[in-house]
Amino acid sequence: MNLNILVLPGDGIGTEVTREAVRVLRHAARKWNHNLKITEGLLGGIAIHKTGNPLPEETVRLAGDADATLMGAVGLAEFDNAPPEKRPEKGLLGIRKVLGVYANLRPVRAYGALLDSSPLKNERVAGTDMIIVRELTGGIYYGTPRGITESGGETRAVNTMVYTRAEIERVGRMAFHLAGGRRKKVTSVDKSNVLENSQLWRRVVTEIGREFPDVALDHILVDNCAMQLVLNPTRFDVVLTENMFGDILSDEGAVLAGSIGMLPSASIGERKASGAWVGLYEPVHGSAPDIAGQNKANPLGAIGSVAAMLEYSFGLKKEAAAVNGAVEAVLESGRVTADLKPTGTPATTEQVGEAVCAAIG
Q: Which residues bind ligand NAD (CB under 6 A)?
A: 13, 17, 73-75, 89, 92, 260-261, 282, 285-291, 297-298, 301, 339
> CB of 242: closest distance to ligand NAD in angstroms?
21
Nearer to ligand NAD, 67 or 282 (CB): 282
Mark whether 116 is an active-site residue: no
Catalytic residue flag (residue 142): no
345/325 Cα distance (integer angstroms): 23
CA distance 190 to 167: 15
Instruction: Tell me if 19 sits within 8 A of 52, measured CB to CB.
Output: no
Active site residue 223: yes
A 10 A CB-CB count for 272 gives 16
Directed axis angle between helix 243-256 and helix 222-231, to 10°?
Answer: 10
Question: Is 191 labeled as catalytic in the residue annotation?
Answer: yes
Catalytic residue among 31, 218, 223, 341: 223
**From 90, 102, 190, 191, the catalytic residue:** 191
Containing 241, the helix (H) or strand (E) segment is: strand 238-241
- For the bound state, the minimum distance from the C-beta of residue 251 to ligand NAD, rounded and expressed in Å, comes to 11
CA dihedral 278, 301, 167, 222 (to 10 degrees): 170
Between 104 and 188, name the residue whose CB sits nearer to ligand NAD.
Answer: 104
CB of 74 to ligand NAD, least distance (A): 4
CB 180, CB 212: distance < 8 Å: yes
DSSP strand E in 1-41: where?
2-10, 35-40
Shortest reach from residue 301's CB to ligand NAD, in Å? 6
Q: Confirm whether 190 is a catalytic residue.
A: no
Judged by beta carbon, residue 297 or residue 316, the one nearer ligand NAD is 297
Determine which one of 129, 141, 142, 184 is catalytic: 141
Cα separations in angstroms, 33 against 27, 155, 187: 10, 63, 37
Which of residues 208 and 302 has its CB atom nearest to ligand NAD in the complex?
302
For the bound state, the minimum distance from the C-beta of residue 171 to ligand NAD, rounded and expressed in Å, comes to 21
Q: Which residues have CB under 8 Å from 7's CB, separation 6+?
A: 18, 22, 38, 39, 40, 41, 69, 70, 71
Task: Rank residues 134 and 285 by Cβ distance to ligand NAD and give the closer one.
Answer: 285
- List the catalytic residues: 141, 191, 223, 247, 251
